[in-house]
């Protein structure tokens, strides 16, 4: 019999039951009803095609005269000696990544094992190695409501995929339940998005879990980790919008779709979030029973309410406090009223966001777990399902390797924080490298702006930390996604590459600021696409710098999974074939090169190359001229 969450345990398990009930209610409210099941691999929604070049002219932020052309027959080649010498020269000063073993027990659980009562029951979340492929979930029509016929069909298809994944994982969970009984353990909640389960067992038996085959990571289900926050001098959301230059994209009116927000809940009756309504639905996933922003860790100001107001707040308080995107938010409360992060609830939030077709998820979480932990694994799986994940880097800087989860995930953009008026990097902003030596953060956004507070329906407060920065990047990601979607570009990798193009740092990168400050560009021409890169291969993409323009910029991003890393480079070659600029980072999963102010008119070549690649690596690229 499949393990279910039916124990009468009064604390963790009860909350898990209540969370499951809340999820079921949300699915019913959005007409996600059970569908037929089949093999997981059947009829997967397709990803965007490769080897196409999307090009157009920008009138402000509006994309005009879009052309979609296949790459030419002569686009594909091999690295020659000139390319290799150029790359070797730039890589010679870099350290080859030396991944650190993150271990398989989270730091807080390891501490408890040293100091706790080994006879006392403890609830842990166990993540296992996974061989189930997460399919791409269907794309909603963001110009229509969830109740439209088109979106009802998409939601029904999403529910079919959920049922397929649940069925595929059931035998493994049954086997796991039998194994855990030998350790006096009982499975509570299981998941379909990732291969993981909560289990209650005596603390002294936790280490024996690791003797079971396939255990990837074990962590406490509930921790004292708070949503990352800080405070600083008052500034308005408008100042943050000006810093990231998002208003021209907002003014296009492309505000359809939904953003999933994993945070402490929202005060849905705040004037910034109602009339017009900015909250699609809000759910408590912790079992506390109230999706409101009730955590009092911030002196009665809340946390998720401020995040939501930056993401999407209306202008009821005035233009100065209007949010970045205008896209409605699905609020998932993953922190209990005691302000402690509920890890299983966070995974639930990713699952539900995927199921109800959120195409951007903003994770206001700073979990102390490795990139193989449950939350980071869920973020990677959400990307595989078609979601752009924007996550706080956390507030444990300035030392190296202080980035937290899911900012450390392989397929999420981790966001650092600098002051909205001074642009100075905040000392607390979490730094990379990750355990496997990847660069983090990916981007930096402004913090310390005045956002909505739960102290009253019109109250505001100074919202800081990397939490104050992440909604700016999340709102920008939603605008970018909606900007690209009319041309048929839905892969979240396109959003990541475009966001990194909006960074201000060219190679070389560091673990303080990554690709730098996020500033959304306007004017000039845009070009983007997706290619497949193999070891030693080159792909040449022509990009024309028109007369009167003198700048060309390009960014790459590619998805990876734990345990693997590919080294992909990019070079900008001038119309005469000479070297313009290049990006040769060894440990990053992004590259960014630019010739600013001195690019000669003519046809430039964006050369993407596989310097050290295992297999075939999809790579997303985005370029602009101005």
Write down the domain spans for the chain: 12-41+101-220, 52-98+521-625, 237-501
* pLDDT in the model for residue 593: 98
Output 152-155 pairs: Cβ under 8 A, ≥24 positions apart. 152/31, 154/357, 155/30, 155/31, 155/32, 155/356, 155/357
Cα Rg of the chain, angstroms? 23
Q: Which residues contact 146 (CB under 8 A, 6 or more apart)?
A: 30, 31, 140, 152, 155, 258, 280, 356, 357
What would the 3-class secondary structure string for 125-137 be? EEEECCCCCCCCC
Tell me the C-alpha distance between 210 and 198, whole Å: 15
* HSE toward the beta carbon, residue 341, CA cutoff 13 A: 27
Residue 408 φ then ψ, to 5°: -90, 0
Element (DSSP H or E) covering residue 474: helix 465-484
Q: How high is the mean pLDDT in each 10-residue block of the chain (626 residues)?
A: 30 41 46 32 62 95 92 93 90 84 92 94 95 94 93 96 97 92 94 97 92 91 75 78 97 96 96 95 91 83 96 96 97 91 96 97 97 98 98 97 97 97 96 96 97 95 95 98 92 98 95 98 96 97 97 98 94 97 96 97 98 96 98
* pLDDT in the model for residue 230: 57
- Joined together, the tokens standing for residue 38 give 């089949």
Task: Read off the DSSP letter of residue 342.
Answer: B
Tell the CATH topology of 52-98+521-625.
Jelly Rolls (2.60.120)
- Joined together, the tokens standing for residue 284 give 């408590």
Tell me the C-alpha distance between 331 and 318, whole Å: 23
Residue 228 φ then ψ, to 5°: -65, 130
CA 325 to the chain's CA centroid: 17
* HSE toward the beta carbon, residue 25, CA cutoff 13 A: 12
* pLDDT in the model for residue 2: 31
DSSP β-bridge partners for residue 341: 335
Q: Which residues contact 553 (CB under 8 A, 6 or more apart)?
A: 501, 506, 592, 593, 594, 595, 596, 623, 624, 625
Tell the CATH topology of 12-41+101-220.
Alpha-Beta Plaits (3.30.70)
Tell me the C-alpha distance between 110 and 207, whole Å: 10
Tell me the C-alpha distance between 3 and 197, whole Å: 10
Residue among 317, 387, 403 nearest 350 (CA): 387
Tokens 């507030």 correspond to 395
Q: Do 353 and 104 contact (CB within 8 A), yes or no?
A: no
Element (DSSP H or E) covering residue 300: none
Tokens 């951007």 correspond to 360
Residue among 491, 514, 517, 511 nearest 621 (CA): 491
Tell me the C-alpha distance between 61 and 519, whole Å: 13
Compute the residue count for the chain.
Answer: 626
* pLDDT in the model for residue 234: 57
Span 237-501: which CATH code? 3.40.50.200
What would the 3-class secondary structure string for 228-290 be? CCCCCCCCEHHHHHHHHCCHHHHCCCCCCCEEEEEECCCCCCCCCCCCCCCEEEEEECCCCCC
Tell me the C-alpha distance between 574 and 593, whole Å: 13
Q: Do 426 and 389 contact (CB within 8 A), yes or no?
A: no
Element (DSSP H or E) covering residue 363: strand 360-363
């Amino acid at each position: 019999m499949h393990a279910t969450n039916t124990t009468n345990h009064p604390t963790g398990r009860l909350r898990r039951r209540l969370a499951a009930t809340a999820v079921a209610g949300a699915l019913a409210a959005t007409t996600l009803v059970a569908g037929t099941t089949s093999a997981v691999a059947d009829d997967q929604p397709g990803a965007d095609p490769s080897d196409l070049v999307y090009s157009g002219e920008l009138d402000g932020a509006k994309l005009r005269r879009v052309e979609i052309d296949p790459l030419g027959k002569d686009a594909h080649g091999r690295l020659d000696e000139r390319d290799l010498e150029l790359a070797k020269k730039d890589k010679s000063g870099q350290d080859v990544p030396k991944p650190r073993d993150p271990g398989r027990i989270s730091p807080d659980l390891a501490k408890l094992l040293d100091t706790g009562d080994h006879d006392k029951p403890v609830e842990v979340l166990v993540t296992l190695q996974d061989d189930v492929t997460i399919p791409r979930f269907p794309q909603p029509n963001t110009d229509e409501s969830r109740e439209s016929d088109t979106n009802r069909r998409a939601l029904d298809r999403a529910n079919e995929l959920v049922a397929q994944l649940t069925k595929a994982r059931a035998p493994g969970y049954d086997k796991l339940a039998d194994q855990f009984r030998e350790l006096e353990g009982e499975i509570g909640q299981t998941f379909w998005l990732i291969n993981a389960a909560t289990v209650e067992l005596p603390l002294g038996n936790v280490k024996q879990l690791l003797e079971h085959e396939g255990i990837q990571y074990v962590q406490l289900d509930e921790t004292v980790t708070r949503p990352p926050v800080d405070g600083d001098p008052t500034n308005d959301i408008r100042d943050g919008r000006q810093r990231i230059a998002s208003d021209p994209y907002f003014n296009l009116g492309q505000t359809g779709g939904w953003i999933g927000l994993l945070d402490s809940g929202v005060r849905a009756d705040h004037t910034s979030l109602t009339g017009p309504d900015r909250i699609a639905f809000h759910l408590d996933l912790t079992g506390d029973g109230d999706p409101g922003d009730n955590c009092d860790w911030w002196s009665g100001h809340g946390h998720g309410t401020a995040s939501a107001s930056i993401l999407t707040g209306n202008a009821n308080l005035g233009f100065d406090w209007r949010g970045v995107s205008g896209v409605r938010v699905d609020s998932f409360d993953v922190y209990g009223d005691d302000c402690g992060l509920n890890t299983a609830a966070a995974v639930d939030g990713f699952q539900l966001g995927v199921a109800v077709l959120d195409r951007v998820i903003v994770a206001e979480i700073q979990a102390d777990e490795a990139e193989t932990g449950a939350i980071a694994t869920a973020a990677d799986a959400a990307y595989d399902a078609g979601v752009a994940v924007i996550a706080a880097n956390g507030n444990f800087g300035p030392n190296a390797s202080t980035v937290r989860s899911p900012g450390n995930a392989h397929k999420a953009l981790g966001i650092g924080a600098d002051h909205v008026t001074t642009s100075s990097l905040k000392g607390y902003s979490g730094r990379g490298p990750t355990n496997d030596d990847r660069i983090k953060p990916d981007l930096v956004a402004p913090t310390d702006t005045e956002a909505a507070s739960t102290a009253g329906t019109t109250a505001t407060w100074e919202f800081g930390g990397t939490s104050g920065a992440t909604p700016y990047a999340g709102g920008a990601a939603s605008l970018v996604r909606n900007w690209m979607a009319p041309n048929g570009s839905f892969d979240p990798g396109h959003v990541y590459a475009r966001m990194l193009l909006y960074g201000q740092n060219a190679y070389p990168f560091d673990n303080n600021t990554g690709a730098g400050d996020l500033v959304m560009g306007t004017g000039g021409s845009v070009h983007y696409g997706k290619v497949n890169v193999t070891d030693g291969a080159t792909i040449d993409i022509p990009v024309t710098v028109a007369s009167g323009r003198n700048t060309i910029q390009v960014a790459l991003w590619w998805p990876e999974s734990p345990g693997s890393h590919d080294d992909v480079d990019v070079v900008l070659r001038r119309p005469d074939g000479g070297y313009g600029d290049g990006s040769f980072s060894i440990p990053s999963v992004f590259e960014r090169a630019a010739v600013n102010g001195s690019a000669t008119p003519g046809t430039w070549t964006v050369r993407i190359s596989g310097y050290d690649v295992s297999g075939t690596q999809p790579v997303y690229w985005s370029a602009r001229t101005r």
